[in-house]
Structure 1
Amino acid sequence: MAEYKLEITTGDVQYAGTSDYIYVTLVGTEGQSERTLMDNYGFDFQTGASGSYTVKTSFSLGKLLLVKVEKNQYLCLPEDEWYFSKMVVTTPEGDVILYPCYRWIGRGEMVELRGGRAMKAFEDDHPLLIDHRKKEMMLKKSLFQWKSMGEGLPHINSFNDVSEIPAEMRFSDSRIADFNYSRKKIGIELKIKGLLGSTAYWETIEDMKKIFWFKKTTMSEYVADHWMEDDFFGYQFLNGVNPGVIKRCSELPINFPVTEEMVKPFLEVGSSLQKEIEKGNMFLYDQKKMDGIPPAAYNGEPLHVTAGLCLLNVNPENKLMPIAIQLNQQPSEKNPIFLPSDPETDWLLAKMFIKNADCMDHESVHHFMRTHFLAEVFAVAALCSFPVIHPMYKLLLPHFRHTLHINIRARLSVLGPDGALNNSSLGLDGVKELMRRDLSEMTYSSLCLPENIAARGLESIPNFYYRDDGLKLWNIIQSFVKAVVEHYYPSDCEVHRDTELQDWISEIFTHGFLGNKASGFPAAFHTVEEVVKFTTMVIFTPTVQHAAVNSGQYDYNSWAPNSTLRLRKPPPTTKGQSSMTTVLETLPNVGDTVLLAGMLWLLSDRYSNYIPLGTYPEERFDEPEPKQMIKEFQAALSCLSEAITTRNSHLELPYTYLDPAEIENSVSI
């Protein structure tokens, strides 16, 4: 008689337990056990509980291959799904094998689990395992499919509603409750104040400080007090919510005719425009990819989109200062170059139109397309290419936890007919054209932070905390990925032989980057080094990069004068004709302002089931080596978190968005 000891764990999530019967069958190379009821004295399979059970066989089953778990009705009780986390089996020979599940199981359903070491397809040598892998992939490819979001845009998952995606990939009930509570609280406050849906215009700038009673952050209050200041305007290009747009200016664009006479008063005494360029102190913001996109209409009249240029200079105090702004690409008498010495409201309006264009670019391109939608591409490709036993599936899945759910919701709430981006100066059609243009020009190197920073010439610009923290995080993630990948792929030959790995990168190249060879994105993997670099980027994008462009949205953009998606009046075409009344008339009306502020509150909040970067509550690796690698990864992140906290304690404006403790492990909001 042989005895197999089983420890079965029920998930610690709401309503995870079950009253139904649970049966287990063990399948080995020498045969299989009888279908055995898992039944102890008292209540089994309660939420968060583990239970120990025994399966007896008349002979050893040999090497265990599969575990079959069935859920059947108990008496006449109503249906209750069971969230089955994992099973650990101890064999008569003393082997201890992990069988991860981490999914909901319905009544009458049977799941077959593989355990033990993560395995690549060419390593399976038993007909039963080969057949199991084949059937699993057929099922996954039928479930996870692609559809178009629009010509020239990344493809998306084929689900039309969150109810269609597997339950374990949806938000928990508690997170949904948190989100709905916040949304209801926001709506009630805005209705009580008479702000929601108001078509009135703001009478004073100070009135905008009264939108919310309690939703204030140290940073949002700082923004409201300092938004007019030039040094704060420049600071945001480094450490605000869109830190990926400026580049070092080695020569002025021919369509931006800034002269020495114009900017000399704003440069260091004794210096010149050419000297500052040669010293590497000049930087350029150029929104040329927005040029020519037709604006949206508002009350039957077209709005205004400015594809502007802004020249910035690092001054002797190491502050990045705007010194010249042109609001459209082609210079003309109706498109003057604005300077800090111009009338105060002229200069202020010029900065506001630059920030309006930057806000639309940030939300549509750098936030939604370059983090949310790319994360979805990486996720769907993984889900339809890798079986759960594959090492890359185990490595990547935690970083795609809720991506499908949040993206399906975002396409309705942000990109839908009533969404924030449809109410921008570009409108939904314009936003999609902007994303389309960006994707057509996107390069692999632009998503790899070390190369991105070098290409933009920002290696030495001072006070660039996004760069400093981001590069450290890139190196920590890369070190972790390198260790895991090299453990499972000891040679380039292993990479070549892994057809599932090749399927994954092919899916991404085809559906994410639309087969654009000029982009530099790989269509296949040839070396271990290529896998390490690409996987580092794939994990960095929905974690670190998403935190950089998402977490500070309420801080910086809820104050409409600093940054808004819509401006109502046209940009100034002559100098000396504006006033603070012009500024107020240019800002969106009360209802539009509070809608955007409310959305940014929701996007920047933290909800239940928050999982910080490097935290893996689901135990998927069974081998000691990757478990140790995860511990070392977490230790490095903790050390960096302490260093960032210490650094921030000495800063007037702490940069917290890339503190590992503040970075979620996947795109989840």
Structure 2
Amino acid sequence: MFGIGKNLIGDALKTTGDVLRTTGDVAGSVVNAGGNIVDRATDIGRIGKKKIKGKVILMRSNVLDFTELHSSVLDGVTELLGSGIVLELVSATHVDRHSNDPRGKVGRRAYLERWLTSLPPLFAGESVFQINFEWDEEFGYPGAFYIRNGHTSEFFLKSLTLEDVPGHGKVHFDCNSWVYPQRRYNKDRIFFANKTYLPSETPAPLRKYREEELINLRGDGKGERKEWDRIYDYEVYNDIADPDGGNSLVRLILGGNKYPYPRRGRTGRPRTRRDPNYESRLQSVVGLNIYVPRDENFGHLKMADFLAYSLKALSSNIKPGLETIADRTPGEIDNFKQVHNLYDGGFPIPFNVFRDLTNGLTPPMFKELLRTDGERFLRYPVPHIIKDDKSAWRTDEEFAREMLAGVNPICISRLQQFPPLSKLDPSVYGNQDSTISEENIKYGLNGLSVNEAIEQNKLYILDHHDALMPYLRKINSTSTKTYATRTLLLLQDDGTLKPLVIELSLPHPQGDRHGAISKLYYPAEGGVESSIWQLAKAYVAVNDVGYHQLISHWLHTHAVVEPFVIATHRQLSVLHPIHKLLIPHYKDTMFINAFARQVLVNAGGLLEETHFQSKYAMELSSYIYKDWNFLEQALPMNLIKRGVAVEDASSPHGLRLLIEDYPFAVDGLEIWSTIQKWVTNYCSLYYKDDEAIQNDVELQSWWKEVREKGHADKKNEPWWPKMNTISELVESCTIIIWIASALHAAVNFGQYPYGGFVPNRPTISRRLMPEVGSSEYKELEANPEKAYLRTINSQIQFLLGMSLIEILSRHASDEVYLGQRASIEWTSDKHALEAFEKFGKEVYQVEERIMERNRDINLKNRTGPANFPYTLLVPSSSEGLTARGIPNSISI
């Protein structure tokens, strides 16, 4: 790719041969041209007909992409023959009286003007073309148009605008779709005006077109999907393993009664040779060529592509290079100063290793990860958690604060019975209840008894015990050595949380039925006891990071949303109001998920390499998905379920927080209510009563498919909304938007700001707590920093993990944030536009209130000892690593 200059002449010369080898395409163009010439000749005799002027905006493929060089030549040939880009308007008010088919009348062909004179830019960018359509009274209102691409390469069609349709004024078509050469399609591409219609209200001439377009998008469930396809269909997770690569890359298929999972987008790739139940994997991700419907792929703007290429590079180039570094340099980090040097000075890499690492490539692809000055260093930005104070992360106050204002603030719950009890089946796992007694914690209860503390809502718990224990024996059979953890905390009068005790549990050596072996650890301020306590907090962090990445982030946002994306395209027409409401919140999600299955969550992928669950990671997430409940993803219900809030009609948002200074919950409830208000106002424009919901055939088909196909393993759950009322529609759409925007932002964009300093949030533990008298215990006494760093991530795991979460924590330059739309003409409904403008203003007001709270020194959990304000739910952001911003969709 970067050797483009030396190959320029040779590739250009080869173009002549490419043209000759595409005789079939040119011949087809000549045939098409014959008809077009006749049409144009006829047009000469129709000069008196009224014309409608139009403007088409499109973006061509990058002309410096050498896979498209031959296309540029052929495009010139077909343009001269008159078979370039053809459009035909479709009437929404008149049917063809010469046909028995009740379809809208199709107008005469029109052609883009000045294709050749509007020269393509050096990089892909917008081009504007004029077009003139013939119009008469018998045609009426244009509600759609056909388009045929007679060129040999695709282009991105942004919009068509008709300037002055008699009796109607301006008519806009918001297209935003890739259009491939006509030979790639079985049906002509059709686009609809940005009107909004419920199915029953669709003008009769457009109904067949509306229905057929949905049928086209569903496909027939057969064959391997190609780049230009627009088919949305479902498949189980049979693509994350690689049986043909050997036993070490075999994983369970996720999706089905035994291992339930949300469905993914179907690609139809061939099955593996070794086991036909598995889909074969791409051996390389050349050009990011993973199939998703073309419009679901990352956009044409540079930053989005950079993020994807960075992940690709990390997997295929950086990871092997870092492994080489680990082989050629000392494999351990010995003290925290060496960790800080990763930000202050970088990590030294021998020149020959750097050359291998970059595989001959140079920045900008690797400019965020590599420096090329001097001796070549890996470069990492300073994480926010240590910018102001390098040691504040070690305090108990910061350890507890991050449960309320960190990157995983959705797991802490109120302790309502003591001691903490397990929900694991005792016939399988024995006694898994906590061993913590009142005697163990009374010293820290500020004079209260346990019962008094519970009654006053003062006791809280971060409990990862039940989620992990069923898999802990398997996990510890790998290089991981860790515990299932429970952490009890006291809510103090100043609103902060104080850790009281940490319980570390292991499976019983004689078998699961014998229960757990547990040990308790307490806060300490000096001596070896403080080092032991610091290690106990590290094991809690390892649990929390693993649960965060796999469950809070991947499963509960990325994976559960994908079925909604697929079902929406299959069952809700682009004319449908709910399609228009939800579509911004699906941008790039299918692609980033497909890419994750290729390099992140796959067997041997980056997540297995950098997190303690190792090869059991995805299987464990299936185990957790068994308890997933769609309604509990609503923030108010989630807070009530965890006991950190109670219903209170007199309080804002209808509930009262029991931890008043809970930054994620306080900011999140404002965002939630603002989204809910917008959805309510929008839906009320189109549904006047519950009967309208029940009679909406597309809406009912959509919801049925979400449950029965998208989340097929949960289809019989009683908690699914029935979708019979307006309130059920509002609730469901609010939850979808909340998950895709604010919830994902809260658990994603703080990954590097909090976890980029690995000692604060280690992802792996490599050895268990040292026993008194052991060599490890003596090392802990003599050199606690070294012992700590020997327990958590190794050097390679440090570097690889930091590189990964730095990429995942960045905002793209083309990001669209909550309260914004990529197009201001997404609908022609002025009432919807007014409601959305109001929504945008309210989102901005929420942002101002968040920033004001962060300035309140009485709210100690807002910034904490590290002086790192909680901004993850601040809606707006600039490009890059900002620790703020709520994109509309799960786009990274």
Q: Same fold (TM over 0.5)?
A: yes
Matched letter for residue 340 of structure 1: P
Deviations 1:387-414 (A, max 9, x none): 2111111111111110011111111222
In structure 1, distance between residues paired with 2:568 and 2:532? 51
Match of 1:202 in 2: 333
Match of 1:660 in 2: 875
Cα deviation, residue 164, structure 1: 2.4
Matched letter for residue 599 of structure 1: L
Cα deviation, residue 88, structure 1: 3.3
Deviations 1:567-587 (A, max 9, x none): 100235679945414322211
Deviations 1:325-359 (A, max 9, x none): 11127899952211114811221111111111111
242 and 475 in structure 1: CA distance in 2 versus 1, 3 angstrom threshold: same
SS in 2 for 1:86: strand
After TM superposition, list the pairs within 5 Å mapping 1:509-524 onto structure 2.
509-516=707-714, 519-522=717-720, 524=722
Kindly indicate whether the alpha-carbon contact (under 8 Å) linking 1:84 and 1:105 is maintained by their aligned counterparts in 2: no
Query: Between Structure 1 and Structure 2, whose CA radius of gyration is higher?
Result: 2
Deviates more, 1:399-408 or 1:246-255: 246-255
Cα deviation, residue 238, structure 1: 0.5
In structure 2, distance between residues paired with 1:88 and 1:575? 83
Deviates more, 1:541-550 or 1:425-434: 425-434
Q: Is 1:211 the equivalent of 2:394?
A: no
Name which of 165, 179, 191 aligns with 2:307. Answer: 179
Q: Is 1:96 the equivalent of 2:170?
A: yes
Kindly indicate whether the alpha-carbon contact (under 8 Å) linking 2:462 and 2:487 is maintained by their aligned counterparts in 1: yes
Q: Is 1:421 the equivalent of 2:607?
A: yes
SS in 1 for 2:394: coil
In structure 2, distance between residues paired with 1:322 and 1:63? 68
For structure 2, the residue ranges without an aligned partner over 5 or more in a row are 1-47, 64-71, 96-104, 220-230, 238-253, 270-281, 283-288, 347-379, 422-432, 509-514, 645-656, 857-862, 877-884
TM-score (normalizing by structure 1) = 0.91
Match of 1:376 in 2: 562
In structure 1, distance between residues paired with 2:516 and 2:217? 60
In structure 2, distance between residues paired with 1:546 and 1:45? 41
309 and 469 in structure 1: CA distance in 2 versus 1, 3 angstrom threshold: same
Match of 1:154 in 2: 262
Match of 1:306 in 2: 483
Match of 1:251 in 2: 417
Match of 1:166 in 2: 293
516 and 57 in structure 1: CA distance in 2 versus 1, 3 angstrom threshold: closer
Cα deviation, residue 419, structure 1: 2.2
Match of 1:388 in 2: 574
Cα deviation, residue 79, structure 1: 3.3
Match of 1:641 in 2: 847
In structure 1, distance between residues paired with 2:596 and 2:516? 42
Kindly indicate whether the alpha-carbon contact (under 8 Å) linking 2:159 and 2:172 is maintained by their aligned counterparts in 1: no
Query: How many positions carry a matched residue from both structures?
Result: 662
Deviations 1:259-311 (A, max 9, x none): 3332233232x33333222211110111112112045679x855234221110
In structure 2, distance between residues paired with 1:498 and 1:260? 58
In structure 1, distance between residues paired with 2:165 and 2:49? 9
In structure 2, distance between residues paired with 1:250 and 1:575? 39
Deviations 1:562-609 (A, max 9, x none): 222211002356799454143222112101111111101010012221
In structure 2, distance between residues paired with 1:375 and 1:611? 18
After TM superposition, list the pairs within 5 Å mapping 1:353-368 onto structure 2.
353-368=539-554
Deviates more, 1:378-387 or 1:362-371: 378-387
SS in 2 for 1:645: helix
Name which of 778, 795, 803 aligns with 1:590. Answer: 795
After TM superposition, list the pairs within 5 Å mapping 1:394-413 onto structure 2.
394-413=580-599
In structure 2, distance between residues paired with 1:426 and 1:333? 20
Deviations 1:445-487 (A, max 9, x none): 3200011112222212032111111100111111111111111
TM-score (normalizing by structure 2) = 0.69
Match of 2:212 in 1: 135
Kindly indicate whether the alpha-carbon contact (under 8 Å) linking 1:312 and 1:324 is maintained by their aligned counterparts in 2: yes
196 and 649 in structure 1: CA distance in 2 versus 1, 3 angstrom threshold: farther
Kindly indicate whether the alpha-carbon contact (under 8 Å) linking 1:72 and 1:107 is maintained by their aligned counterparts in 2: yes
106 and 648 in structure 1: CA distance in 2 versus 1, 3 angstrom threshold: same
Matched letter for residue 693 of structure 2: V
Kindly indicate whether the alpha-carbon contact (under 8 Å) linking 1:293 and 1:433 is maintained by their aligned counterparts in 2: no
Name which of 798, 801, 809 aligns with 1:604. Answer: 809
SS in 1 for 2:607: coil
Cα deviation, residue 615, structure 1: 1.6
In structure 2, distance between residues paired with 1:275 and 1:575? 40
Name which of 110, 127, 134 aligns with 1:36. Answer: 110
Deviates more, 1:204-213 or 1:529-538: 204-213
Deviates more, 1:178-187 or 1:382-391: 178-187
Matched letter for residue 615 of structure 1: Q
Q: Is 1:495 the equivalent of 2:693?
A: yes
305 and 8 in structure 1: CA distance in 2 versus 1, 3 angstrom threshold: farther
In structure 2, distance between residues paired with 1:45 and 1:529? 52
Cα deviation, residue 70, structure 1: 2.5
SS in 2 for 1:388: coil
In structure 1, distance between residues paired with 2:500 and 2:462? 12
Identical positions, percent = 21
Matched letter for residue 873 of structure 2: L
Kindly indicate whether the alpha-carbon contact (under 8 Å) linking 1:334 and 1:574 is maintained by their aligned counterparts in 2: no
Kindly indicate whether the alpha-carbon contact (under 8 Å) linking 2:567 and 2:710 is maintained by their aligned counterparts in 1: no
Q: Is 1:567 the equivalent of 2:765?
A: yes
Kindly indicate whether the alpha-carbon contact (under 8 Å) linking 1:2 and 1:60 is maintained by their aligned counterparts in 2: no
Cα deviation, residue 189, structure 1: 12
Say what the alpha-carbon RMSD is for the aligned residues. 3.1
Match of 2:144 in 1: 66
